[in-house]
Amino acid sequence: MVETPNVSLISVTPVKSLGLAHPQEVELTAEGVPGNRRLYLVDDGERLYNGTRHGPLVRVRPAYDDATGALTLEFPDGRAVAGEVALGDAVETDFYGRPVAGRRVEGPWAAALSAYTGTPLHLVRAEREGDACDVHLATIVSEASCEELGRRASARVDPRRFRMLFTLAGCAPHEEDAWNGRALRVGAAVVRVAGPVPRCVVTTQDPATGISDLETLRSIAAYRGRREGRLVDFGVYADIEAPGPVRVGDAVEVV
């Protein structure tokens, strides 16, 4: 019996590179999931600061209500830093060649994150919803692809390592690659697959600790090769064509 692909995990975070939350349901809009990666970090040079520079950022658990401005960061030692976001100076951040407009966030969070990482940091809120996602508003990977990588690497591969919006069950390994350019109904929403996701060193890090513990890039390249001789692909991007709610357990089908 062939299993129908379905959503097995949803992963979002209000602050890019910090710990993920896994809601049972999200609303997929034309700007992505509301609040997902609305905030991000920059260093003193206003360069994007993320898990490639400090993996243990994933141990900080954020909660943010964009409507009220209430932001809480819970640190691994149990300390919580909370308050209401106030916006300061305008900044522009280079997101891999794409400029993103934002405003510095005033409050206690930057100092707490700076102390945690040992690097002077500033918290920024993107001016527009969805702008602080890396390239496309949605990303998809299958459990079967992670299991195949685990078989090749002789290790268990947790899908959370890839920080994708949707993880799917019921697929063949790398079936998602075959959907490139195709429209998918995901729950009540429709997305269009927009090509492969090139991976970075964040995927080598344990998703709970941020400590590098698995040579994912080397293992992926060993059996999948390198696109253009350099890019290591795993999972796919997607654009939103029709908004709607998506729940864990919802079917995924090519339309």
Q: Is the pLDDT of residue 193 over 60?
A: yes
Mind listing the pLDDT tens digit for each residue in 36-73? 999 999 999 999 999 999 999 999 999 999 889 999 99
Within its chain, how far is the Cα of 38 from the centroid?
Answer: 12
Prediction pTM value: 0.96
Q: What is the pLDDT of residues 219-238, one digit of tens each?
A: 999 999 999 999 999 999 99
Here the tokens at position 69 are 């401005």
Q: Choose which CATH entry (1.10.10.10, 3.30.1330.10, 2.40.33.20, 3.40.50.2300) describes domain 6-30+136-254.
A: 2.40.33.20
Q: Which residues pair with 98 in a beta bridge?
A: 95
Please name every residue paired with 25 in a beta bridge, in sequence order, or none if there are none: 247
Q: Is it the case that residue 129 has pLDDT exceeding 80?
A: yes
Query: In this structure, what token pair is assigned to residue 170?
Result: 């019921």
Whole-number pLDDT of residue 1:
46
Per-residue pLDDT reduced to its tens digit, 64-121: 998 899 999 999 999 999 999 999 999 999 998 899 999 999 999 999 999 999 999 9
Residue 250's pLDDT band, with cuts at 50, 70 and 90, is very high
Q: What does the alpha-carbon distance between residue 164 and residue 8 come to, in Å, rounded to a whole number?
A: 12
Q: Is the dihedral of CA 254, 185, 175, 147 positive or negative?
A: negative
Beta carbons of 60 and 72 less than 8 angstroms apart: no
Q: What local confidence, expressed as pLDDT, does residue 2 receive?
A: 54
Burial of 22 (0-12, 13-18, 19+ CB in 10 A): exposed
Tokens linked to 174: 């790398």
Residue in the structure block whose two tokens are 């920080």: 163
Q: Write the CB contacts of 38 (distance below 8 Å, at least 6 apart in sequence).
A: 14, 15, 64, 66, 125, 126, 129, 132
What distance, in Å, lies between the first and last C-alpha atoms of the chain? 21
pLDDT surpasses 90 at 216: yes
Extract the tokens encoding 164: 């994708």
Assess contact for 10 and 24: CB atoms under 8 A: yes
Enter the tokens of residue 162: 């890839």
| Cβ atoms of 214 and 153 closer than 8 Å | yes
The full set of domain ranges for the chain reads 6-30+136-254, 39-126
Q: Is 174 left (phi over 0), alpha (psi -120 to 50) or beta?
A: left
What is the share, in percent, of the chain residues with pLDDT greater than 90? 96
Model confidence at 134, pLDDT cuts 50, 70, 90, reads: confident
**Contact present, 64 and 15 (Cβ < 8 Å):** yes
Name which of 21, 3, 49, 59 is nearest 165 in CA terms: 21
Nearest to 12 by CA among 188, 150, 138: 138
